[in-house]
Structure 1
Amino acid sequence: MKEPFSLSINYVAPAILDEKQEVVVKICIAEEDFTNELRALKLLGKKGVVQVLDSDEQHRVILLQKLSPGTLLVELADDEKACVIAADVFRKIIVPVCGHLPKLPTMKEREESLRKLIYDYPKGFGPFSMKVLKDALRIFTYMNETTSEIFILHGDFHPFNILASGEDEWTAIDPKGLIGEMESDLIQYMMNKLPEQGVYDVMEKRVEIFTKELSLNMERLLLWGYCYSVLSTAWTVDVDGSYDTSFYRTIDIFKRLYEQHVGPLLIK
């Protein structure tokens, strides 16, 4: 075993197996997180996600292939190029759900977590008024009710979870596992690694690239963006009332992008 990577929750460290093979050892703290990640790693498309070499369910240990050179996609200066790369990885890993529903978190459960938040905090929560929370919930409900095709998704797809795995090759790591519409799994990517200035233009370009590269429905992508950015920001609210302001500012941008490219955001 070598020095572990700098992480906030799980223990992850590179190691040498049989004195020659480089691997990564991941020890998960939470049993549910371990189960979901291991299941997702086995179900997602093999060509785009890091491969499991072995696992120990009793001790919540996963032995993974080591990606080399391992450069994070977030380190790529050209945001448009990074977005195209991410779209290619995304295309490789998602898998349509046919028949039996895999036991993974769902977008319906995400909706329910927002509904519970509203129930628990009837006067609003963090930076959100009750109106904003209810508006987001209405859109969340509408999106789930009108989803026509669901996929096995990464669940935490953003540029910190995509690594270089060879010359012009990139691979996704750390899936949380999620069942839902394709567009819903790209919101975390669009909310991450945003500049201090010109955020609207950067997000607009990301929407354009993802829509084109993956043949997405722009309207649904932006609607997921609005409601999911509210929930994602709510998850960052701390006991002292602080929250992720970078996430928070994307809420209004998703709304403005929708109004510019689709029309008025009518919340019934």
Structure 2
Amino acid sequence: MSDPALFPPGLPVLTEMRLHTSGRAWLAELPALVEKLRTRWSLHFGAPYMGGSCSWVAPARLPDGTRAVFKVTWPHREAAGEAEGLRIWDGRGAVRLLDHAPEHQALLLERCEPGTELGAADGLGTERRLRLGAGVLRDLWSAPVPADTGLERVADVCAEWADLVEERMARLRPGYDPGLVAHGARLLRELPGTAAREVVVHGDFNPGNVLAAARGPWLAIDAKPMTGDPGYDPFPLLEQIDDPFATADPHRTVADRLALLADELGEDADRLAAWAAARRVEAALWSAEHGRADDGAGVMAEARILADAAGG
């Protein structure tokens, strides 16, 4: 029988997954699944982590005393490639994959300790954290890309997003700048084909997914990997290390950060800005689709700043 303490009522994954039918079905099986995998791998669990909205994640200890992290995820498209990405990186800039139960979308992972999020390391300062994050990206991108990874391609995913942007704009008519929306959709289609190189991108490189680790000193977690243009990756780091749009001169702040990241990563600042603008437009139309048009209006204002930085 599963331990009820492992599924406290306030756990975010329990709240979020109850909002849709497939999530509720997955939750109904979750305690038995966790127990099954605990038995398979002879694990001892600590209290689950409180972050995350579609995964149950807890510290674990293996029979030999190894300190690990156990993660089981609601099956969905973005999570499908995480294990393969971790295998390709093999510890370069990311946690190591210790074991995998693909039939259950479950991972046994290296534990990051102390585990401080890069976004919460305020004492390091914004510039230092941007440089540290860029260093992790360099490590991730340094892994050779196998001939057949089975991972999705940035170009294919972004082409689908471009179609969704246009369809949502036409159907929802949220009042956003039509020229900027069209520009964002065009960038989503065109940018992947202009890349100078192909890497395995992290796919969700926000500073909450970069943790302090003894081996690291910073390692990435919670990847949604794809293959393609490295310029796709840096935007969440740029905008979430703190809020550049809330500064006295957001245009200057954004330009400075883009220049810093471009220099650290060996990428073109205008392309990084274009990717950021494209992803911001996509986020605005997602907000409109999900009944968050007010949030989307603010996101569109940010997209304009990013497009200006790219000269668009």
Same fold (TM > 0.5): yes
- Report the Cα distance in structure 2 between the residues aligned to 1:168 and 1:148, rounded to whole angstroms: 28
Task: Give the letter for the 1:187 counterpart.
Answer: F
After TM superposition, give the deviation of residue 204 of structure 1 in Å.
2.4
Q: Percent identity?
A: 21
- 1:40-79 paired onto structure 2 within 5 Å: 40-44=85-89, 46-77=91-122, 78-79=125-126
- List gaps (5 residues or longer) in structure 1: 260-264
Query: CA 1:249–1:191 in structure 2 vs 1: closer, same or farther (change >3 Å)?
Result: farther
Q: Residue 114 of structure 1 contacts residue 137 of structure 1 at CA under 8 Å; is this kept in 2?
A: yes
Question: In structure 2, what is the Cα distance between the partners aligned to 1:159 and 1:245?
Answer: 24
What residue in structure 2 maps to residue 233 of structure 1? 284
- From the superposition, tell whether residues 125 and 41 of structure 1 become closer, same or farther in structure 2 (CA, over 3 Å): farther
More contact order relative to length (CA 8 Å, sep ≥ 6): 1
**Residue 258 of structure 1 aligns with which residue?**
310
Summarize deviations over 1:173-198 as a string: whole Å, max 9, x none.
11100222111211122222315333
Q: How does 1:208-247 map onto structure 2 within 5 Å?
A: 208-237=259-288, 238-239=290-291, 241-243=293-295, 247=299
Greater Rg, structure 1 or structure 2? 2
Which structure carries more helix by proportion? 2
CA contact (8 A) 2:231 2:267 kept: yes
TM-score, normalised relative to structure 1? 0.86
Matching residue of 2:47 = 3
How big is the shift at 1:163?
A: 0.3
Deviations 1:113-139 (A, max 9, x none): 221331354155545344332221122
- Tell me if the contact between 1:72 and 1:162 (Cα under 8 Å) persists in the aligned partners: yes
Measured on the aligned residues, the alpha-carbon RMSD in Å equals 2.4
Q: Measured at CA, do residues 168 and 104 of structure 1 come closer, stay the same or move farther in structure 2, by a change above 3 Å?
A: closer
Over 3 Å counting, the alpha-carbon distance change for 1:244 and 1:41 in structure 2 is farther
**Contact 2:136–2:218 (8 Å) recurs in 1:** yes
Tell me how far 1:236 sits from its aligned partner. Answer: 3.5
* 1:197 alignment partner AA: T
Distance 2:251 2:243 in 1: 9
Q: For 2:81 and 2:144, how far apart are their aligned partners in 1?
A: 16
Question: 1:85 — aligned with what?
Answer: 132
Q: CA deviation at 1:228?
A: 1.7
What CA distance in whole angstroms lies between the structure 2 residues aligned with 1:116 and 1:92? 32
Partner of 2:205: 157
Report Cα offsets for 1:12-33 as digits up to 9, x if no partner.
Answer: 1112222622111101111534
Unaligned runs of 5+ in 2: 1-44
Q: Give the TM-score of the pair, scaled to structure 2.
A: 0.75
Deviates more, 1:151-160 or 1:19-28: 19-28
Tell whether the 8 Å contact from 1:161 to 1:172 is kept in structure 2 after alignment.
yes
Q: Quick check: 195-204 or 11-20, which moved more? A: 195-204
